[in-house]
């Protein structure tokens, strides 16, 4: 079934456009930083030019990608189950492989596609910033103002690329969960307007709360301490993992009835 899912993605122009956007938006950040560099003359440290660091003014590229991330994945592949339902293909597949396997493959498949897509996009961005800003040293002055209480930030500055890889993996996992969230609501509602609205609402609430989900995506900040990060991590993971599990149980029980 994953092969069928992949075939649909590669032969759907809208899906390909969304995937290209996920790769292109981080590159917009590079263009913005190059313009700043030309204007002010400070060559960025490659680690601080990385997309998740959010060094550009107003963080426009980060807002466009991170805030609307589940929508990109829904359009690209997570609403695949809605198409199955409308075409009558869902019943054919469910009768063949069973409802449990069908739901599991849709949710886990969306997680995998989303995770890999975001991981590749960020790794490409990391490589590009290393090449374009090689030998740069400008770090927004953060290294000069790190207090003794910021032990994790000290470690991040001492090991910038270990830090970037770590945050890349964290964000890619959450991207996978965003894709799984969209697939779950698509399974549940079988209608784009409800699936998209529910997915966006849950994701947006996690971003807008005081302990925002965004805080655990950005390296080299004062938020990178266990006191702040762990509650955000536990709360958001609970929401993004529990919802797909509940939807899976409901879909299986409903089908059995």
At 108-134, the pLDDT tens digits run: 999 999 999 999 999 999 999 999 999
At 58-98, the pLDDT tens digits run: 788 999 999 999 999 999 987 889 988 988 888 898 999 99
> What average pLDDT score do residues 10-37 get?
91
Question: What is the C-alpha separation between 2 and 42, in angstroms, rounded?
Answer: 47
Q: What is the pTM of this model?
A: 0.93
Among 73, 67, 15, 64, residue whose Cα is nearest residue 195: 73
Cβ count within 10 A of residue 25: 21
């Amino acid at each position: 079934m994953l092969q069928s899912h992949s075939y649909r993605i590669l032969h759907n122009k809208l899906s390909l456009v969304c995937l290209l956007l996920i790769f292109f938006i981080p590159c917009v950040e590079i263009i913005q930083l190059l313009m700043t560099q030309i204007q002010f003359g400070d060559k960025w440290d490659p680690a601080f030019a990385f997309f998740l660091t959010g060094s550009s003014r107003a963080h426009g590229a980060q807002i466009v990608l991170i805030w609307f991330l589940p929508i990109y994945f829904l359009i690209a592949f997570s609403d695949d189950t809605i198409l199955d339902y409308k075409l009558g293909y869902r019943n054919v597949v469910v009768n063949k492989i069973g409802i449990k396997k069908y739901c599991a493959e849709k949710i886990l498949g969306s997680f995998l596609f989303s995770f890999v897509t975001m991981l590749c996009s960020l790794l490409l961005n990391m490589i590009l910033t290393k090449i374009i800003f090689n030998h740069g040293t400008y770090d927004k002055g953060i290294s000069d103002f790190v207090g003794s209480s910021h032990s994790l930030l000290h470690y991040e500055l001492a090991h910038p690329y270990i830090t970037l890889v770590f945050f890349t993996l964290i964000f890619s996992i959450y991207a996978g969960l965003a894709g799984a969230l969209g697939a779950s609501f698509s399974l549940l509602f079988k209608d784009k307007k409800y699936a998209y609205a529910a997915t966006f609402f849950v994701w947006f609430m996690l971003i807008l709360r005081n302990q925002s989900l965004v805080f655990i995506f950005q390296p080299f900040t004062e938020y990178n301490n266990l006191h702040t990060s762990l509650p955000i991590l536990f709360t958001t993971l609970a929401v993004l993992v529990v919802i797909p599990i509940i939807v899976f149980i409901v879909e299986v029980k409903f089908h059995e009835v």
